[in-house]
Amino acid sequence: MERFYTLVFVAGVGCFAIAFLLSMIFPWMSLYSYHGMDYHTLEQLAEKPSAEFVQLSEKFPASFKEHYGTVSPESYAKALQRGRDVYVGQACWHCHSQYVRVVSNEHVRWGAPSSAQEYQNALNQPHLWGTRRVGPDLAREGGKKTNDWHIAHFINPKSVVPHSVMPPYPFYFDAQGIPNADGIALVTYLQWLGTVQAGIPVAERVTP
């Protein structure tokens, strides 16, 4: 049994392949065959720019025009992708998860539990589910808070959440609090989260 070729091909390749089949190919097949999921490209996601994106263009016309031009599906797609890039690059997803479970009253706090379909798109490739929640889950973040709240929060989290341990990100804004290209992108991306699923996000409800 413990000969070179057995070790390489049975233990090495064989056992790996069985696990690959059972824990990757099977879920992948059943997700597609039973749920008939459609994949959404970035262009499809960005067909209708969000109200928050329009509001950013109106509130910060100079910065917006410089980095994104006018509000259009193309500029919205550009902002979403860049926002995701910053979110990944700064490792935001290591402290904020992006899925709501059916347990621990998470639906009360954040809204409907996550379904597989809402992750079938270009902005979840690779997914950003995360494994740790130092800050709240962000799967239903879009539309919950205003752009102004997010900008104030990024410049100094403690100004709006006194006990926050999130680091400030002042370098995405100038001295007057006007967002640069990354700042606009980050807010646009956060306001997009959860909007794939139909319905209005549930505001975070907490005990007094």
Partner 1 sequence: MSASTTLAAHGEPLVNYRLIKAHIFAGAVALSISMIAGFLYSLQFVGYFPLGHDNWMLTPGHMRLLHTNMAAYGWLVNGFTAMLYYVVPRLTGHKVLSDKLGGLIFAAWQLILALSIFGYLTDKAQAIEWGETPTGFRPGTFEMNYVPVDLLVVVGAVLVIVQFMVPIFKARDQKFYVTLWYFTAGLVWLALTYLMGNIMPEWMLPGAAGAATTGLFIHDLVGLYVTPMGWGLMYFFVPLILRRPIWSHSLSVIGFWALAFFYPLGGVHHFLISPIPDYVEFGAITTTIAIEVVVTTVVVNFFMTLRGRWSALRTSMAIRWFYVGAVFYFITCLQCAFQVTWLFQRVIHFTDWVVGHAHLIMFGVFTFWLFGVIEWLWPRVCKREWYSQTLRGWHFWLWSVGVMIMFFDLMIAGLVHGFMQRDLNDWSDILRMSEPFWWVRAFSGVMILVGLFCALYNMYMTAKAGAAYQEDKHYIPANAD
Residues 146-205 that bind partner 1 (CB under 8 A): 161-165, 167-171, 204-205
55 binds partner 1, rule: CB under 8 A? no
Number of residues that bind partner 1 (CB under 8 A): 82
Identify which of residues 11 and 203 has a Cβ nearer to partner 1 in the complex. 11
The residue (of 52 and 118) whose beta carbon lies closer to partner 1 is 118
Task: Return the number of other C-beta atoms located less than 10 Å from residue 48's C-beta.
Answer: 10
Instruction: Out of 4, 70, 175, 176, name the contact with partner 1 by CB under 8 A.
Output: 4
Q: H-helix or E-strand containing 4?
A: helix 4-5
Residue 62 binds partner 1, judged by CB under 8 A:
no
Indicate the residue among 130 and 194 with the shorter CB distance to partner 1.
130
Among 62, 175, 198, 206, binds partner 1 (CB under 8 A): 206
Distance CA 5, CA 185 (A): 53
Query: Can you give 18-57 as a three-state secondary structure string?
Result: HHHHHHHHHHHHHHHHHHCCCCECHHHHCCCCCHHHHHHH
Q: Which is nearer to partner 1, 54 or 134 (CB)?
A: 134
Q: Cβ distance 130 to 97 under 8 Å?
A: yes
* Alpha-carbon span 103 to 124, nearest angstrom: 23
The total of other beta-carbon atoms located within 10 Å of residue 102's CB is 9
> Does the N-terminal peptide bond of residue 167 adopt cis geometry, omega within 30 degrees of 0?
no
Binding flag, residue 84, partner 1 (CB under 8 A): yes
Considering the complex, state which of residue 55 and residue 124 has its C-beta at the smaller distance from partner 1.
124
Among 53, 68, 76, 93, binds partner 1 (CB under 8 A): 93
Site string for partner 1, 100-139 (x = CB under 8 A): -xxxxxx-xx----xxx-xxxxx-xxxxxxxxxxxxx---
